[in-house]
Amino acid sequence: MAEDIFRVATVEDAPEFLELLSSAFKSVKELGIDWPSTNADLAMVTENIVNSSAFVLERNGKLISTITVRFPWESSSPPSKYPFVWWFATAPELAGQGIGDKLLTYVEERVLRDTLKAPALTLGTSARKHPWLLDMYLRRGYEVYFEHEEDGDVGVMMRKILIPEKFDATLLGIPSWT
Please give the chain's pLDDT, 178 residues, in tens. Answer: 578 999 999 999 999 999 998 887 666 655 555 556 566 789 999 999 999 999 999 999 999 999 999 999 988 888 789 999 988 999 999 988 999 999 999 999 999 999 999 999 999 887 666 666 788 899 999 999 988 787 776 678 899 999 999 999 999 977 665 4
CA 52 – CA 55 distance, rounded (Å): 9
CA 152 – CA 33 distance, rounded (Å): 10
Is residue 16 within 8 A of residue 9, CB to CB? The reply is no
Task: Give residue 40's pLDDT.
Answer: 74
**Residue 157 half-sphere exposure toward CB, CA atoms < 13 A:** 21
Is residue 175 within 8 A of residue 157, CB to CB? The reply is yes
- What structural domains does the chain harbor? 2-169 (3.40.630.30)
Residues with Cβ < 8 Å from 140, sequence gap 6 or more?
101, 104, 160
Closest by CA position to 145, among listed 153, 155, 136, 135: 155
